[in-house]
């Protein structure tokens, strides 16, 4: 099927003599709460799960099935940067921090990483290549996008049980209408990103009311 991610970026690296290539992607840059999650995945070219694609193009059930297949067949590392770290660093830097943590957690250190997007994290000490729309073009990045998305969705379901009313079990912390209404009615939780405008504005309103 045309238009699906493949191993062309990985094979190009192998042709240059690189032995271990990992794909890296993150999930959760846009939500108002919860961590940003990154995954690093080094696929076995002889055992690539079928049907890999950008996680946003897959159903939740398909993502779950592929998550299990990837975890069983690949070297996988998952890492986070917390809401507090996002507020201190900004979302881009926190995403890159989570990516670096994920890369560092792989069972075998990669020689080269393929990173979704147009920027390579600062301070990354190994060979790296940024690939725009990598999750739709590169199999390793697509696998990482699936792992990061499934893992983060599970985190948000768990947090939803601790903080009911915000709808995190189905909106994953994104600024949906129900989430914004709950944020105004219930106020922010410790998991909300205070540097994000809707949360910041509500906190400012609370301060002005209480002062």
What pLDDT, in 10s, does the model give residues 71-103?
A: 999 999 999 999 999 999 999 999 999 999 999
User: 211, exposed or middle or buried, with CB in 10 Å at 0-12, 13-18, 19+?
Assistant: exposed
Quote the pTM value: 0.95
- Give the contacts of 78 (CB within 8 A, at least 6 positions apart): 37, 38, 39, 102, 105, 147, 148, 151
Confidence category of residue 1, pLDDT binned at 50, 70, 90: very low
User: 96, exposed or middle or buried, with CB in 10 Å at 0-12, 13-18, 19+?
Assistant: buried
Query: Hey, is 75 helix, strand or coil?
Result: strand
What's the pLDDT score for residue 205?
82
Averaged confidence pLDDT in the chain: 95
16 phi and psi angles, rounded to 5 deg: -85, 5
What's the pLDDT score for residue 123?
85
Considering only CA atoms, which of 63, 19, 60 is closest in space to residue 39?
Answer: 63
What's the pLDDT score for residue 170?
96
- Region 136-160: mean pLDDT is 98
What's the pLDDT score for residue 206?
74
**Residue 125: is its pLDDT beyond 60?**
yes
Instruction: Out of 11-15, 66-70, 123-127, 168-172, pick the least confident.
Output: 123-127
Q: Match 């830097």 to its residue by tokens.
A: 93
Q: What is the C-alpha to C-alpha distance for residues 176 and 174, in angstroms, rounded to an integer?
A: 6
Query: For residues 207 and 211, which has the higher predicted lDDT (pLDDT)?
Result: 207
């Amino acid at each position: 099927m045309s238009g699906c991610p493949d191993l062309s970026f990985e094979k190009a690296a192998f042709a240059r003599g690189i032995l271990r290539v990992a794909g890296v992607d993150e999930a959760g840059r846009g939500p108002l709460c919860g961590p940003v999650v990154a995954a690093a995945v080094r696929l076995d070219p002889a055992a690539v799960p079928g049907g890999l694609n950008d996680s946003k193009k897959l159903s939740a059930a398909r993502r779950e099935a592929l998550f299990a297949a990837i975890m069983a067949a690949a070297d996988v590392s998952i890492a986070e940067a917390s809401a507090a770290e996002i507020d201190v660093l900004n979302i881009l830097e926190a995403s890159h921090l989570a990516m670096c943590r994920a890369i560092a957690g792989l069972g075998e250190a990669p020689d080269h990483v393929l990173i979704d997007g147009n920027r390579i994290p600062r301070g990354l000490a190994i060979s790296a290549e940024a690939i725009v729309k990598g999750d739709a073009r590169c199999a390793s990045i697509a696998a990482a996008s699936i792992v990061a998305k499934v893992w983060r969705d599970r985190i948000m379901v768990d947090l939803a049980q601790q903080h009911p009313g915000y709808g995190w079990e189905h909106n994953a912390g994104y600024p949906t209408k129900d989430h914004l209404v709950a944020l105004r009615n219930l106020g922010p939780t410790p998991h909300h990103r205070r540097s994000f405008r809707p949360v910041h504005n509500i906190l400012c309103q609370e301060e002005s009311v209480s002062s």
